[in-house]
Structure 1
Amino acid sequence: MPKIGMEPKRRADVINATLTCISKYGMDGMTLDKVAEYAHCSKGVVLYYFKNKDNLTYEAFKAFLGYYGLKIESEIEKTMSAGEMIDVTLKHILPLYSDDSDKEINVSQLDGIEAMFIPYDDQGKLFLQFFSKAVLDHKLQEIVSKSYLADLQGIAKIFDYGNITGNMTVDDSKSAAYGLLAMVIGLSFFRVAKIPPINGEDNRYIIEDYVRKLSERK
């Protein structure tokens, strides 16, 4: 049994280790033994908190998706324009390439949201692993559906705010939010599949063009 008072730290270590193992070995290659090794604990501790591999996978997926919302919320300020809010959102859900492979995965809030981090390559690998598994796993589908519905509502609110303040002209905020998120998901998959844009640039410019058109006054 884990030491009293260590539960939040242990759970965080196990979740981080799970995401690390999924990124390194794939969903099928992630085992409880490997997770325990990366979390520097026993397999018994992993089972004590998460019962089995399926539960651990679901909780890791929730933490992976939740990471983005927490980072975005922590950086958006009420004084920002709608465009600036969208920029913050895109910075996290479709980040620019960075060589940060020397850093470790951390989706725990224990040391503050600013300490949370997922390296660029790991983001792509985790995205592919979780979403390919979700095709046949209804529980994973429910988790991603709940997360994305919340994302759509948040983005639509930003577009509505842009309309009110005159920074944007969006006829249907919900549809515009749906289009933006759908493009981000598609562009994310293209990155993982290493399908380059026609002009050879980072494919982020495609979504930036989309947002820029919404910001143009008619």
Structure 2
Amino acid sequence: MPKVGMEPKRRAEVINATLTCISKHGIDGMTLEKVAEYAGCSKGVVTYYFKNKDTLTIEAFKAFLAYFGLKIEAEMESTMTAKEMIDVTLKHILPTYRDDEGKSMNVSQLDGIEKMYIPYEDKAKLFLQFFSKAALDRNLQEVVSESYSNDLHGIAKIFDYGNRTGHMSVEDPKSAAYGLLAMVVGLSFFRVAGIPTVNGEDNRYICEEYVRRLAKE
């Protein structure tokens, strides 16, 4: 049994190891033994915190989705315009490509949100793994539904704020938020599938153009 006081650190290490394992081997290839190996602990430690693979997969998925909201919230400032807030949001949920191979996975808040990090390639792999499984797994669907419902609410609030400050013209903030998030999800799948844009640019420009049309320049 882990020492008293080690629980939060050990749980974080197991979750990080699980995400690393899924990124490398997929959910089907992820085992409690492999997670323990990546976490540098015994299988008994893993099962002490998470009773089985299904529980661990769900908790890792929750941590993966929560990561984006935490990073966005940490960079939001009340002095920003609505467009600047949306730019921060897109920066994290549909990031530009960067070569960060070799950087470590960390979705734990224990050392501060600024040290939380998911490498670019791992984001794409995890996105594909979790969402493909969610299509047939009711428990994972519930995780997605709750997370995206919160995202839609937050983005709609930003569009509404843009209307009130006169920096945006959005007829229906909720519908606009739905459209933007649906676009992000679709573009994310296109990235994973390697489907290029017509002009060869990073496909996030499509979302940026969508937001530009709503903003009053």
Match of 1:49 in 2: 49
What is the identity, as a one-letter code, of the residue corresponding to 2:16? N
Match of 1:99 in 2: 99
Match of 2:21 in 1: 21
Map 1:5-154 → 2, pairs under 5 A: 5-154=5-154
- Partners of 1:66 and 1:188 lie apart in 2 by 17
- Partners of 1:83 and 1:201 lie apart in 2 by 21
Deviation of the 1:4 alpha carbon: 1.0
Moved over 4 A (4+): none
What is the identity, as a one-letter code, of the residue corresponding to 2:20? T
Secondary structure of the structure 2 residue equivalent to 1:98: coil
Match of 2:171 in 1: 171
- Partners of 1:68 and 1:207 lie apart in 2 by 17
- Partners of 2:25 and 2:102 lie apart in 1 by 18
- Partners of 1:79 and 1:173 lie apart in 2 by 20
- Partners of 2:111 and 2:162 lie apart in 1 by 34
What is the identity, as a one-letter code, of the residue corresponding to 1:187? L
Secondary structure of the structure 1 residue equivalent to 2:168: coil
Secondary structure of the structure 2 residue equivalent to 1:22: helix
Match of 1:190 in 2: 190
Secondary structure of the structure 2 residue equivalent to 1:77: coil
What is the identity, as a one-letter code, of the residue corresponding to 1:183? M
What is the identity, as a one-letter code, of the residue corresponding to 2:176? A
Deviation of the 1:216 alpha carbon: 3.5
Structure 1 unaligned spans of 5+ = none
- Partners of 1:30 and 1:101 lie apart in 2 by 21
Deviation of the 1:3 alpha carbon: 1.1
**Deviations for 1:169-200, whole angstroms, at most 9, x for unmatched residues?**
00000000000000000000000001000100
**Deviations for 1:42-79, whole angstroms, at most 9, x for unmatched residues?**
00000000000000000000000000000000000001
Deviation of the 1:102 alpha carbon: 1.3
What is the identity, as a one-letter code, of the residue corresponding to 1:207? C
TM-score by length of 2: 0.99
- Partners of 1:129 and 1:101 lie apart in 2 by 19
* Identical pairs, percent: 77
What is the identity, as a one-letter code, of the residue corresponding to 1:32? L
- Partners of 2:31 and 2:210 lie apart in 1 by 41
What is the identity, as a one-letter code, of the residue corresponding to 2:74? S
Structure 2 unaligned spans of 5+ = none
- Partners of 1:74 and 1:216 lie apart in 2 by 26
- Partners of 2:101 and 2:28 lie apart in 1 by 23
